[in-house]
Chain A
Amino acid sequence: MTELRRTPRRWKVRSRLMITLVVGVLSAAVAAGALAQSAGKSGLIGKLEGPEVVTDPAKVPKTLKEAPQLAALVKAGKLPPVAERIGQDPLVIKPLHEIGKYGGTWRGGFTGPADFWNGFRCCSGPDHLLFWDYTGDKVTPNIAKGYEMQDGGRTLVLHLRRGMKWSDGKPFTADDFVFWFEDIYRNKDLIPTPSAAMAINGKQGVIEKVDTHTVRFKFPEPYFMLPDVLAGSTDLGGHAWRGYAGLGAYAPAHYLKQFHPKYVGQAELDKKVKEAKFDSWVRMFLFKNDWALNPELPVLSPWKTVTPINTPTWTLERNPYSVFVDTAGNQLPYIDRVVLTLGENLEVINLRAIAGEYDFQQRHLDLGKLPVFLENQARGGYKVYLDPGDYGGDMIIKFNLSYEADPEIAKWMNTADFRRALSLGIDRDQLNETFWLGTGTPSSVVPADGNKYNPGPQYRKLWATLDVKKANELLDKAGLAKKDAQGYRQRTDGKGRLRIEIMTLGGQFLQFTQIAEMIREQWKKIGIDLTVQEVERSLALKRTAANEQQLGAWNNDGSEHLFTFPLHVFPFEISGVSSSGPLYARWFHSAGTQGKEPPARLKELMEKFKKAYGVPEKERIELGKEVWKIAAEEVYIIGVIGMGPASMGVRVVKTNMGNIPSRQYNSPDGKTPTISRPVTFFWKK
């Protein structure tokens, strides 16, 4: 009997020793791992670089060369010679590192027919009329070889490239713009509601032909923002990106006329519609104009869809009439084919990337799996890059400023000090380490320091540090000093504890729900009781539109280009997964006739924003800075972690691919990696 009792004590000491040993070994391992990781991470984010577009007409190469298989076709008489195919004004791009070699296939993965952004980002050219340079800052000529603003900003004249052709050999001229404007944009069946991008201060503009290679956009008031709009991912952003919605600013007239009632006659069109099993000519027309779905559609992009996106393999092949060339006169792209394979599940895509089955993949890769990616680099033959975005919020929390359902909560939503205090109560470093593996930057909502609209370095940390003492002070002074037995603040209307609710979506590239749970723990210290509600996407949309959401978690990617992507800066979206004030957004869009009028400072922000579209660039930059200033000071949206690579910033590239930049400008406006001109990527063999 006594023996039994003695062993427990010995066991106690032994087991305690064992536990301490195990914990010690484990923490050493973790520390070593973390050390190795941080050392590795500093090598993951490179220097921003990219190819340049050569605009000097004197530097256009005199002789043009082409890919061997195209040369063979020319010899066999099946294709016209390359100089004829490209025309007199090729789009010259200086590759980042070296002149490349022809050949090879680029493999990637996509998740299904809704993943057309995948194709836009890799292979659409870009086929915008104008586009961003690799810094994302300047607008450079693209499909249009030059532009001028005339008449005080009311008119934009675009010069097209002489001899440029669609992918089926037919000429690309100003007629394609007129066809788009007159027969597509103005057709009420195809486009029931006109686009805000074609309007300034609510007034629509027109497109006119000047001559075969010159087009004019005319507006009733100055629209200095137009070049940015043409370069960005907007309704006028080119055929590949917007054709499926009937937008884009131009369209292949010679091909689409056969599907349009004005040119074919309604009866015959109806017959065609029935044969093709569509239910209306509108749906058939938009299908035929879809870059990702219709292999017969003539395009301007360097690669052309061969097997469409609604099949298990989305294949794109080189366009023999591609107008892109390098500085030595080689017709681009170098790479012959792009093959995207279907992985309906994100886990499968990540696993395939880890296994090295993709050559260049930037989309759908999970930052949380970074250690596994790094582990398998040698085995998979690839290198991992991180491209942090330039926007201030990989994760933001929006206050619904126009919330009405609960007057007490609505009052606090609209009290600036309440919002500031909540922002001061977040431990951003802890979140950064846990969810971003330390790769993000704790920040307010303002964009990166190098961004032209950034209001100044002091705004980076404005109301965006951890200061529990100040937060408690602010809340006490605002009138929430009374706390209940558990330390949570009480409502001022006597209805008990002050509870606020945050709505999150699951299954996104960032674990918003888990992050919100961590913030809930952090806000206990300032006496705020937060409920985290994870909802399904459609429900989120419905709740937001019905003005039922209190707080919402999302990101503000795109806001580095403030004027083309304002939706996560102030209440701009009426229907979105999270909004900072649907009623105010309605007021904004209806020019004051619907919705609710915003408070003074928010109105000021909206007015500055609207004004910026119609003023020259220098003034616009000042207005942009003021918009961000107000946003940062009022904390309409809490910036949590910014400049992180969580949203499409994890890049995996095979080591023998050439002209790969060490860091790219990660932006939806830049359609990254298109901003790095993938036409210049090649296989080093």
Chain B
Amino acid sequence: MLAYIGRRALLAIFTMWAISVLAFVIIQLPPGDYVTSYIAQMASMGSVVTDEEAQNLRIQYGLGQPIYVQYLKWVALIAQGNFGMSMEWRRPVTEVIGERLWLTVVVSVAALILTWVLALPIGVYSAVRQYSVGDYLATFVGFIGLAVPNFLLALVLLYLGFVLFNAHIGGLFSPEFQDAPWSAARVWDLLKHLPIPALILGLAGTAQQIRIMRANLLDELRKPYVVTARSKGLSETRVVLKYPVRVALNPFASTIGYTLPYIVSGSIIVSLVLGLPTVGPLLLKALIAQDMFLAGTIVLMLGMMTVIGTLISDVVLVWIDPRIRLEET
């Protein structure tokens, strides 16, 4: 077991390095660089960047140098624990990401929990009461969540919230709490704003999980050991919950790996629409502006989350599925 984890960890480091190179190269691919993007951005705001200023900026940001020089500079900085300076935000990258990271985790975890809390029971119910009204209803709602683009859902809910409830538009905090230090009141304000984003983010994933749960459970429920258990007199609940559900949970465990980075990157448009201060919109803006260090660091971070997440899900799988354990030894 330990050797297994050790081997995987080594591979992880190599994967991370490959990700960093790829990220840096791909971010640079669009024509132009940060300065051209900056000029274009200024132009669309009715401002002007003189040619002299553009030249000065390029010199200052070192954008004239070849790409591998810029990459090596970045790696050197990372080795010192400094992820560089974001050109757009004019602050260290760690500062820019840092404050948003916690909120991203909170929103993502809330969405994840909501998804599972909704999907698993509904999936179990769907399988056990197959072809009933409840089954069809659950499936129908799930598919609507899957079919409607979630940014559209977000816009509609925002507008409805304003028209019907006079709700504050977008964001995770009310204006008074935006920059306030953490307090019980601020946490409560956050929890008040959390349901809509978590719901929208979770809804699409819910349909998927329901169907997977349902399909797996149906498979399991037809197996002979279930019939045996039932015939031996176990209550129906115990029969379903203790063994088949545990087996049906198998794919969930293996998907933990990419769920977290998916929620970060899959939520970009919803976060943009809802004005959530999460990492998603940050990444989008950084990519459009070709803000090298910021975009590169976020992509690296997402890569790391995927790698660690996959490692975790492998370990979890080994833990809950005794069949794999047997094969290992």
Q: Which residues of A contact B (CB under 8 A)?
A: 107, 112-115, 117, 191-196, 233, 235, 245, 277-280, 282-283, 286-287, 290, 293, 307, 310-313, 339, 341-345, 347-348, 351-352, 354-355, 357, 505, 507-509, 536-542, 554, 557-558, 565, 567, 573-577, 589, 647-648, 668
- A279 pairs with B50, CB closer than 8 A: no
- A343 pairs with B44, CB closer than 8 A: no
Chain A residue at smallest Cβ distance from B34: A538
Within 8 Å by CB of B179, from A313, A537, A567, A648, lies A313
- B44 pairs with A280, CB closer than 8 A: no
- A193 pairs with B55, CB closer than 8 A: yes
Is B158 in contact with chain A by the CB < 8 A criterion?
yes
Complex: A647 Cα to B96 Cα, angstroms = 31
Complex: A589 Cα to B272 Cα, angstroms = 41
- A589 pairs with B168, CB closer than 8 A: no
Chain A residue at smallest Cβ distance from B52: A193
- A343 pairs with B48, CB closer than 8 A: no
B268 to A: closest C-beta gap in Å: 11
Assuming the contacts A114-B38, A114-B41, A575-B36, asked whether A348 and B88 have C-beta atoms less than 8 A apart, the reply is no
Complex: A286 Cα to B85 Cα, angstroms = 14
A197 to B: closest C-beta gap in Å: 8
Assuming the contacts A245-B56, A539-B31, asked whether A313 and B275 have C-beta atoms less than 8 A apart, the reply is no
Complex: A507 Cα to B59 Cα, angstroms = 30
- A668 pairs with B47, CB closer than 8 A: yes
Chain B residue at smallest Cβ distance from A350: B169
Complex: A342 Cα to B175 Cα, angstroms = 10
Q: How many A-B residue pairs have CB under 8 A?
A: 151
- B179 pairs with A542, CB closer than 8 A: no
Within 8 Å by CB of A282, from B60, B96, B155, lies B60
Shortest beta-carbon contacts, A-B, top 10: A537-B40, A538-B32, A193-B52, A542-B31, A310-B89, A541-B36, A348-B275, A577-B43, A277-B92, A538-B36
Interface bin, chain B: 35 or more
Query: Which A residues are CB-close (under 8 A) to B46?
Result: 117, 557-558, 647-648, 668
Contact with A along B14-56 (1 / 0, CB 8 A): 0000000000000000111000111111111111111111111
- B281 pairs with A344, CB closer than 8 A: yes
Query: Which A residues are CB-close (under 8 A) to B275?
Result: 342-345, 348
In chain B, positions 77-111 with a C-beta closer than 8 Å to chain A are: 82, 84-85, 88-92, 96
- A312 pairs with B285, CB closer than 8 A: no
Query: Which A residues are CB-close (under 8 A) to B272?
Result: 344-345
B127 to A: closest C-beta gap in Å: 40
Complex: A342 Cα to B277 Cα, angstroms = 9
Complex: A339 Cα to B31 Cα, angstroms = 36
B14 to A: closest C-beta gap in Å: 29
Complex: A505 Cα to B179 Cα, angstroms = 35
- B88 pairs with A192, CB closer than 8 A: no
A509 to B: closest C-beta gap in Å: 8
Is B125 in contact with chain A by the CB < 8 A criterion?
no
Assuming the contacts A114-B88, A312-B277, A344-B272, asked whether A245 and B53 have C-beta atoms less than 8 A apart, the reply is yes
- B32 pairs with A355, CB closer than 8 A: no
Chain B residue at smallest Cβ distance from A364: B45
- A573 pairs with B51, CB closer than 8 A: yes
Complex: A348 Cα to B271 Cα, angstroms = 11
Complex: A113 Cα to B282 Cα, angstroms = 11
Chain B residue at smallest Cβ distance from A115: B45
Complex: A107 Cα to B272 Cα, angstroms = 21
- A278 pairs with B85, CB closer than 8 A: yes
Is B68 in contact with chain A by the CB < 8 A criterion?
no
Give 13 new A-B contacts, CB below 8 A, not counting A351-B169, A541-B36, A558-B46: A114-B41, A192-B55, A195-B50, A235-B50, A277-B92, A312-B178, A345-B275, A345-B281, A348-B273, A352-B170, A355-B169, A554-B43, A573-B51
- B30 pairs with A567, CB closer than 8 A: no
- B51 pairs with A505, CB closer than 8 A: no
Assuming the contacts A114-B41, A347-B273, A351-B162, asked whether A539 and B32 have C-beta atoms less than 8 A apart, the reply is yes
Is B159 in contact with chain A by the CB < 8 A criterion?
yes
Assuming the contacts A117-B47, A343-B170, asked whether A307 and B89 have C-beta atoms less than 8 A apart, the reply is no
Is B259 in contact with chain A by the CB < 8 A criterion?
no
Query: Which A residues are CB-close (under 8 A) to B126?
Result: none
Assuming the contacts A278-B85, A344-B272, asked whether A538 and B40 have C-beta atoms less than 8 A apart, the reply is yes
Within 8 Å by CB of B30, from A344, A348, A536, lies A536
Query: Which A residues are CB-close (under 8 A) to B289?
Result: 114
Is B290 in contact with chain A by the CB < 8 A criterion?
yes
Chain B residue at smallest Cβ distance from A545: B36
A549 to B: closest C-beta gap in Å: 13
Chain B residue at smallest Cβ distance from A282: B60
Query: Which B residues are CB-close (under 8 A) to A107?
Result: 175
- B31 pairs with A310, CB closer than 8 A: no
- B52 pairs with A542, CB closer than 8 A: no
In chain B, positions 237-259 with a C-beta closer than 8 Å to chain A are: none
Complex: A507 Cα to B43 Cα, angstroms = 12
Assuming the contacts A195-B52, A283-B85, A574-B51, asked whether A351 and B59 have C-beta atoms less than 8 A apart, the reply is no
Query: Which A residues are CB-close (under 8 A) to B274?
Result: 348
A sample of 20 cross-chain residue pairs with beta-carbon separation below 8 angstroms, ordered by A number, consists of A107-B175, A233-B47, A277-B82, A279-B84, A280-B60, A310-B91, A311-B179, A341-B178, A345-B275, A351-B158, A352-B170, A355-B169, A536-B30, A538-B36, A541-B40, A557-B46, A558-B48, A574-B51, A577-B39, A577-B40
Complex: A614 Cα to B149 Cα, angstroms = 60
Query: Which B residues are CB-close (under 8 A) to A541?
Result: 31-32, 36, 39-40
Query: Which B residues are CB-close (under 8 A) to A668?
Result: 46-48
- A193 pairs with B56, CB closer than 8 A: yes
